[in-house]
Amino acid sequence: MAETCTRIRLCSTNDVDWDSAIRVEEGDLTLAVFNVNGMFYVTDDACTHGPGSLSEGYLEGHTIECDFHNGAFDVRTGEVVTPPCMVPVKTYKVVVEDEQVLIEV
Ligand code: FES
């Protein structure tokens, strides 16, 4: 049986500058939306290591460095790139349609 999924609109593509991120709150979710060379990626905004907000971190290529203790994640997969982070951050399937950034949940 096919799984149904819901699409949630997060922002317009123009809301996120190239090679930067914004924080979006939508329902129970607090998310970081990244624009890496025109490709969009979405993760939970909360760093898995502590109180850091990934949308306020330093984005270099596909790597987001948390500005709290400088741990880092790959925004494509959520995998840890640099300790002290140990736990991957959750990522979301992104759909860009009509210049809108949506996630499928
Ligand atoms: S809170 Fe993000 S690295 Fe510690």
Q: What is the pLDDT of residues 44-73, one digit of tens each?
A: 999 999 999 999 999 999 999 999 999 999
Asked whether residue 53 is domain-assigned, the answer is yes
- Whichever domain contains 37, its CATH number is 2.102.10.10
Q: Quick one: DSSP state of residue 67?
A: T
Asked whether residue 2 is domain-assigned, the answer is no
d(CA 99, CA 101): 7
Cβ 54 under 6 angstroms from ligand 1: no
Cβ 89 under 6 angstroms from ligand 1: no
d(CA 63, CA 99): 24
Cβ 49 under 6 angstroms from ligand 1: yes
Question: What is the 7 CA–ligand 1 centroid distance (Å)?
Answer: 29
Cβ 57 under 6 angstroms from ligand 1: no
Residue 16 and residue 24 in contact, taking contact as beta carbons nearer than 8 Å: no
**Domain assignment of residue 85, given as a range:** 7-104
82 forms beta bridges with 72
Structural domains in the chain (count): 1
Q: Residue 2 — very low, low, confident or very high, per pLDDT cuts 50/70/90? A: low
